[in-house]
């Protein structure tokens, strides 16, 4: 999906969603992402699930964008998302991850990684344990 400066890939893995934003984030891009996200997570509803955000080329966004991302995490955690993971490569991404997930009700665990493989292993193991699979 491409909108303005933003391209966002959303894929469903085994019990969780991998979100890979690329480029600068804007409000329109977040709205478009939310529509795609809601369609993709339907098979996860009624289960415990997670979101793995891969911030390799993410350029964040302003306060309005960060507020929208936080609200999306809050909605997700109110609807079964218990795990949020972030693959980051700079301190700004780490800061954004911490701010957008601070005190989100229903969130069991949030972790920040620098390594993709480690993040995927953590998410797969967490979701498997949570759903006893």
Instruction: Break the chain into its structural domains and give their ranges.
Output: 2-130
Highest-confidence range of 36-45, 61-70, 105-114, 124-133, by mean pLDDT? 105-114
Rg (CA), the chain: 14
Determine the Cα–Cα distance for residues 108 and 77; give it in Å rounded to an integer.
9
What is the pLDDT at residue 6? 61
The pLDDT of residue 17 is above 50:
yes
Instruction: Pull the structure tokens for residue 52.
Output: 């793995």
The pLDDT of residue 56 is above 70:
yes
Q: Pairing mode, if any, of strands 6-12 and 2-3?
A: antiparallel
- Percentage, residues of the chain above pLDDT 90: 68
pTM of the model: 0.91
2-130 is classed CATH 3.40.1280.10: no
Backbone angles phi, psi at 129, to 5 degrees: -65, -45
pLDDT band at 1 (very low <50, low <70, confident <90, very high): very low
Alpha helices, H only, 53-101: 63-78, 91-101
User: How many C-beta neighbours within 10 Å does residue 24 have?
Assistant: 15
Q: How far is CA 33 from the centre of its chain?
A: 11
């Amino acid at each position: 999906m491409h909108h303005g400066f933003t391209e966002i890939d959303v894929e469903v893995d085994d019990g969780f969603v991998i979100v890979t934003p690329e480029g600068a984030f804007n409000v329109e891009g977040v709205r478009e992402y939310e529509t795609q996200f809601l369609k993709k997570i339907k098979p996860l509803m009624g289960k415990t699930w997670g979101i793995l955000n891969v911030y390799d080329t993410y350029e964040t966004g302003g306060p309005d964008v960060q507020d929208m991302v936080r609200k999306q995490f809050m909605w997700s955690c109110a609807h079964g998302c218990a795990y949020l993971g972030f693959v980051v490569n700079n301190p700004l991404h780490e800061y954004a991850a911490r701010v957008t997930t601070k005190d989100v009700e229903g969130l069991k665990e949030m972790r920040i990684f620098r390594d993709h493989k480690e993040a995927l292993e953590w998410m797969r193991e967490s979701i498997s344990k949570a759903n006893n699979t």
